[in-house]
Structures are given as structure tokens and as C-alpha cells.
């Protein structure tokens, strides 16, 4: 497997990979019935392209399929600044797909309530937004390697803090194994409407989302500092 930085020229291939994997498989997308395998979701695609534009995303390419440049997995990383979440939440109006709105309303509100910018006094964060591995390549350590290389990209670009909203138990395990710590979490069963009905009926074994962070210092200090 070869690991490469994603450039804007790879957008179409990356989106095609995501339509066949992440868009239908990720626990919240599945709960919201966001899209069928292979179909597109304009709002989510825009969200992905925004991350790619920050030029810190990576892909795993199957070297055996070089001619076709088969993408086995991607991690889309973006730069997050203090007002971004509030702005994005303000834009989440009825023009968006209902499923997309439900998902991002949960994520944006959770992040605004559990403010990493305030806790760590940083003015930008390395945001691990989308982690996706093709279903044919899962269980081979690809996601682990994509997260490991993302940490290296964050260090190289002098970020002090990384974050991720991990929506399922496997991604939560992966981030924790790379030194991410849980800042806050939201149980899906407690995210209900006015009638007590779950807004996103996420399937077992996934029970909660976790907002995870990783402090980047020099190698000696890494992970020892705690939020205020
Ligand atoms: N069952 C049991 N354990 C699993 C499973 C599974 N289905 N998937 C991953 N794991 C465990 C592995 O055992 C491994 O543990 P180890 O390091 O102790 O050996 C660890 O998780 C990492 O496994 P990888 O092989 O690196 O993970 P993989 O390449 O299969 O990708 C991923 C995992 C990204 C979660 C993949 O299943 C996927 O794309 N799912 C759909 C999209 C999704 O949910 N993405 C994450 C959302 S959160 C976000 O994007 C920020």
C-alpha cells in the first residue's frame, strides 16, 4: 500500500471512494439514511472538498492496482478556526438535506458546547474530519496508518492541537491508540426530540460519539499537558 498526500486533482477519485464507502457506512450517515451506496450527497461532498483544499489530507493507494489508482482509504484533514463551527451551524438551514442537517447539527452544537479553542487557548486546530477505508480493505491497519501519518502532517505544519469527532467504536479505538484523549461525548440514546425519540437511531455496537483531542508539543511533552 502506498500513502500519498491528496491534491485537488484527486477530488473526483476521492469522492467516488467516499460515495461507495463512507457516505453509506459511517454510523451517523447510516442512521440518517443519508444516501445509498454509490449515490452522491452534495452537502457532504462540499464538506469533503473544503477539507481537501487545506492540503493536509492523505490517501492509501493499492500499488497493485496502480494503473487504476485504486483508493483503499482516505483521511480528510482540515484547518479549523475559532468561528468556523458557529458560522457553519448558522448556515445549516432548510436548503440542506434533512439527514445532513441532523448529523451536522449534532456535531457542530457538541463542539460549540465543548469548546477546545477555549480549553487549550489555540487559534487553529488540525481537524481529522473524515476517516474512510474501502470495505474490501478493512482490518488491514490502513486506518491506523492514515491516522499515524496525519499526526506527522500536523507536527510538520506546527499545529499544537488535533481533534476528531469519532462517531463509532472502531474509529474511537483507532484515535485513542494514537494518543488522542476523550474531551467530551454524546450518547446517541440521549440525543432525542421533544417526544423523547432518538434523532439519530445509530445501530449497535456504536452507542456514542466522542470528541477527541491530541496535544502536539515536542516529543518529550506530548500528551502530558491537560486542558485548563
Ligand atoms: N471489528 C472489530 N475491530 C475493528 C473493526 C471491526 N469492524 N474495524 C476496525 N477495528 C479495529 C482493529 O481491530 C484495529 O485494532 P488494533 O489496532 O488493536 O489491531 C483498529 O480498529 C484499526 O483497524 P484498521 O484495520 O486500521 O481499521 P480499518 O482500516 O479497517 O478502518 C474504519 C476502520 C475507518 C472505521 C472503517 O471501518 C470505515 O471506513 N468505516 C466506515 C466509515 C467510518 O465509520 N469512519 C469513521 C468515522 S469518524 C471520522 O471520520 C472522524
Q: Enumerate residues lining ligand 1, CB below 6 A.
A: 21-22, 25-27, 73, 128, 130-133, 138-144, 164-168, 170-171, 173-174, 177
- What domains lie within the chain, and their CATH numbers? 2-215 (3.40.630.30)
Work out the average pLDDT over 142-152: 98
Work out the average pLDDT over 121-126: 97
Residue 209 bridge partners (DSSP): 186
pTM above 0.85, yes or no: yes
Beta strands in 35-70 (DSSP E): 58-61
Between the CA of 94 and the centroid of ligand 1 the distance, in Å, is: 33
pLDDT tens string 86-116: 999 999 987 788 999 999 999 999 999 999 9
Please tell me the least confidently modeled range out of 4-13, 60-69, 70-79: 60-69
The confidence band for 84, taking pLDDT boundaries of 50, 70 and 90, is very high
Please tell me the least confidently modeled range out of 19-28, 54-63, 71-80, 212-221: 212-221
Amino acid at each position: 500500500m502506498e500513502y500519498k498526500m491528496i491534491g485537488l486533482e484527486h477530488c473526483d477519485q476521492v469522492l467516488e471512494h467516499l460515495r461507495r464507502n463512507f457516505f453509506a457506512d459511517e454510523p451517523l450517515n447510516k442512521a440518517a439514511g443519508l444516501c445509498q451506496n454509490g449515490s452522491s450527497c452534495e452537502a457532504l461532498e462540499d464538506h469533503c472538498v473544503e477539507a481537501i483544499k487545506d492540503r493536509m489530507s492523505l490517501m492509501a493507494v493499492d500499488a497493485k492496482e496502480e494503473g487504476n489508482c485504486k483508493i483503499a482509504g482516505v483521511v480528510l484533514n482540515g484547518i479549523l478556526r475559532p468561528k468556523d463551527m458557529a458560522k457553519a451551524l448558522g448556515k445549516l438551514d432548510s436548503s440542506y438535506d434533512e439527514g445532513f442537517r441532523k448529523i451536522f447539527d449534532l456535531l457542530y452544537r457538541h463542539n460549540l458546547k465543548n469548546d477546545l479553542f477555549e480549553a487549550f487557548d489555540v487559534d487553529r486546530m488540525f481537524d481529522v474530519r473524515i476517516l474512510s477505508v474501502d470495505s474490501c480493505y478493512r482490518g488491514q491497519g490502513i486506518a491506523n496508518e492514515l491516522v499515524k501519518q496525519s499526526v506527522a502532517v500536523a507536527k510538520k505544519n506546527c499545529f499544537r492541537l488535533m481533534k476528531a469527532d469519532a462517531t463509532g467504536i472502531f474509529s474511537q479505538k483507532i484515535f485513542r491508540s494514537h494518543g488522542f484523549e476523550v474531551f467530551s461525548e454524546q450518547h446517541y440514546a440521549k440525543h432525542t426530540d421533544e417526544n423523547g425519540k432518538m434523532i439519530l437511531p445509530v445501530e449497535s455496537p456504536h452507542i456514542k460519539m466522542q470528541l477527541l483531542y491530541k496535544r502536539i508539543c515536542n516529543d518529550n511533552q506530548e500528551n502530558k499537558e491537560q486542558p485548563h
